[in-house]
Structure 1
């Protein structure tokens, strides 16, 4: 996979008419979205529509849209007193809880970009991420301080600093953050080398959120299971899609905990990896309320899809694909009951996917090539690593796609 943003001076070997046809086949029709807004503003618009509706559930606790907004506002105002503003990175290292959702929204509302740090990660990995990101602020909790490696960030403990935070205003903030500012930096696994921080701007995630609103209904998003660590980009879908369109985020420590959740029968959409859904099937742990199953992150076998459809309540199973460098998902396919094969499908809205050969030319139908991805979802690049950005984000696709 390659990422691409700009233009190449090479000529294509295929005639223009064939190139145009392939572009139509490999991308969704360009969608017109209001993209000059930020992630948290979509949430704030939803707060105005449904202030009393439940926004997030964790164990036996829950927050309405209004309560979540007010708590996030208080923390955001506090963060602004610490000079959090656009392009300022704020680490977030919290156990899964309502406070974790409050923290994510607060960082965005203050104008900053969040950098998730999993407290379960080895100290060496956390140290690498802290050093590489050069965080100025770190949100955490008192019992996690001893697990953190040495760092230079200013600590904000959501529990011990609670009194100072709750004295702040509950009103929405004024911020100069724009859709071209950073929203988050998620580190890759490092399976192909050192972990790299992928820098995603607001407009990229807003495009994903709008696409999701077109594909999934209000009923589908009524209760979205959020079981993925915020250090993985599947969490961006699980958290911000429902919060942008009036659904509930149902937090869980792990997807396999689903059958034991108090709110299990409120889950309507599961967004996870194939191995997790296979185990849920084995233990008969998928509630009758679930309508939609989204699968990503691992190769998907058709046999598994057809097993999912043996449950009468399942209406749709989607196969989703995309690297962190392209805002969670780049392509999607609805795999239907009775289908014989599974593909990665078509590009999501405002995304370009092309197969190119070693000379960066589009390959004819039926010929193998390397997948290049571009469009609104493309990351700004790798944080603090311009040489890696130049290597992986190459100037090719935009000119080809616009030809």
Structure 2
């Protein structure tokens, strides 16, 4: 099939109604014709079909939600050095608007549907003179005006959606502020705009017509082609892939923030730029070659590992922008083509660096094969709840740009040179964005972050941790992810030294002796308060001693483990204290844990006696060998019987309790704590907590109070009993 026949076939397809397009596409598939490879016809008019692309349609929706938002402004500031002819400058922009319909497009509602409206080619250039300011003041004013211009919202219905402001700093020095709305342009478009502006300016200055190839299509042709193709069946095929890939649950990434997330984000952001050390950059490239992946995959792997460490989550989803200009017709257009894909990775702690890189490689290749589905259609199809505080499906973006060309390489024949100006303030669309650039043999990076969530020092620390993980990856690609250090060796030593602090000497009293002293000092002061119930120190001591006697009668003594599984209550502290009085070692068991985890903890600890409650005990996987003592049933342990006459002999090295935590593999791991360690901990807590903030109780002298929130807090409960 020749080019002319292909173009006719594509035009015929687009002009058909939906059902016939579906049949037509199936027929093409049977003939082995890939419609996505057919040329995009220009000038096809289908009056009853939307002319907005899917990306534009979502941008229109977001603008309607918040018309004053500048989150989707595309600002660019460039320094123009050399002679500037203002009349020719205006002519160059008139030529650009005539060439690119997108630059003179606005949007209107017709029958409640948004439509593109192409206006006449015209741009009003705003000139401002700053020549009377000294150089330092001038640069400050430029930055202020650039930030203000970037924050100024657009009216998508009235337009224009391109603003040009020229700041005069001198006869040979100007700064040009270009601002577009994302609905008509993207980052690629900005490069096209500046290159073609310089070419047009040069030509018009010489009295020539700009000599550039005619555009094969306009953006509205692409929008109509995209909708016609995707609606005919391709959209559902790619949707099926993404539904399966992303699953039914879409948990947000919960990074620890410096400030609470606001209900409505202002989208104000800042950027941290830094360069990776040259040895690290070289070794990252070597690792990529060894593993058969791109540098993008290696950097993304390190970033995802960083996010997993910070959030404590293993299911990490990161948005990745793609230019989406796979068609030759689209390369020279100004328009909103960029698409975003969600790359999901399960970062299991046992996974090695090599396995992670292989997984990201496969995920990326698979995503590229399904890159035509607009992100906007995916969001709509998944029926995600929309929020003004965070983006759907992902909250963090990663973008890698290989071999970046600097704007400073652009200059006109007339001597006008262009240099990009950095900006401090930025609008952000996501909580955090990482950009990486291969530039002049260096590997550079930038974190752009939401100022309402993060402080600058937090992002600086995060950048350091990311580089630490990258160093660990290149040094130990066979290692499990859980083994890779977040801190450098120097940072690790510093934290250990900081944590050691000054040596402190505590009394040799045990926790039980500290408690007895408190009982003797304040017998009637409230020791425990819960749900309207209150126990004084004397009452707590008496009840704990009686329960301890019952435990001793059942064989509890030094080094004997006793499980305790209760909901948060007075009985929780009572049980822990009684086990210590009996000389045993308590093993706290959270009733909310999965049955398999509780079974392992009971078996691993060797528990033979379990303290629980009537409502909790049936939910526990208690083996026949384990005796259960229900604390809320008085007849079970005779609370009116004689209390324990004397404490059993215990040494500082005897076991006080065992607590189970999740190790690096996620499996439960028991940690044993001695009486000596517990006594030191309790005394340190008593010394450091702000216990001077005392509550005045109407029936007793002032008494310290501690709030304990965990269901079964192993180390905190003894501290409560002793204060």
Name the structure 2 match of 1:33.
506
CA distance in 1, matches of 2:626, 2:722: 30
Counterpart CA distance in 1 for 2:526 and 2:669 is: 36
Picking from 77, 82, 85, the partner of 2:554 is 82
1:280-339 CA-to-partner distances (Å, cap 9, x unmatched) read xxxxxxxxxxxxxxxxxxxxxxxxxxxxxxxxxxxxxxxxxxxxxxxxxxxxxxxxxxxx
1:127 maps to: 599
In structure 2, C-alpha distance between the alignment counterparts of 1:22 and 1:122, rounded to whole Å: 34
Structure with higher RCO (Cα < 8 A, 6+ apart):
1
Match of 1:203 in 2: 676
Question: Are 1:169 and 2:642 matched, yes or no?
Answer: yes
List runs of 5+ in structure 1 lacking aligned partners.
1-20, 246-403
Greater than 4 Å deviation, 4+ residue runs: 21-26
Counterpart among 575, 583, 586 of residue 111 in structure 1: 583
Change (3 A) 1:132 1:58: same
Q: Could you state the TM-score of these two structures normalised by the residue count of structure 2?
A: 0.29
- Give the deviation of 1:71 after TM superposition: 0.4
CA distance in 1, matches of 2:525, 2:638: 24
Residue 189 (structure 1) aligned with residue 670 (structure 2): no
More deviation, 38-47/89-98:
38-47
TM-score normalised by L of structure 1 = 0.51
Which of 709, 717, 722 does residue 227 from structure 1 map onto?
A: 709
Q: Which 5+ residue runs of structure 2 have no aligned equivalent?
A: 1-493, 695-703
Question: Which residue in 1 is equivalent to 2:722?
Answer: 244
Of the structure 1 ranges 23-32 and 126-135, higher mean CA displacement relative to structure 2 is found in 23-32
Contact 2:659 2:714 in 1 (8 A): no
Bigger mean CA deviation after superposition, 58-67 or 221-230: 221-230
Counting helix residues as a fraction of each chain, which structure ranks higher?
Answer: 2
CA distance in 2 between counterparts of 1:81 and 1:87 reads 16
The Cα of 1:24 is off from its aligned counterpart by 7.5
Distance 2:573 2:645 in 1: 16
Gap change, CA 1:208 and 1:237, over 3 Å in 2: same
Give the CA deviation at 1:240.
Answer: 2.4
- Counterpart position of 1:263: none
Deviation digits for residues 50-101 of structure 1 (CA, Å, limit 9, x no counterpart): 0000000001101000001100000001100011000000000112111111
Rg (Cα) greater in structure? 2
> Which of 147-156 and 171-180 deviates more?
171-180
Report the more deviating stretch, 210-219 or 194-203. Answer: 210-219
**Corresponding position of 2:542:** 70
The answer to whether 1:57 aligns with 2:529 is: yes
- Partner in structure 2 of residue 92 of structure 1: 564
Structure 1 residues 220 and 189: CA distance shift in structure 2, 3 A: farther
Match of 1:319? none
Contact preservation (8 Å) 1:94, 1:100: yes
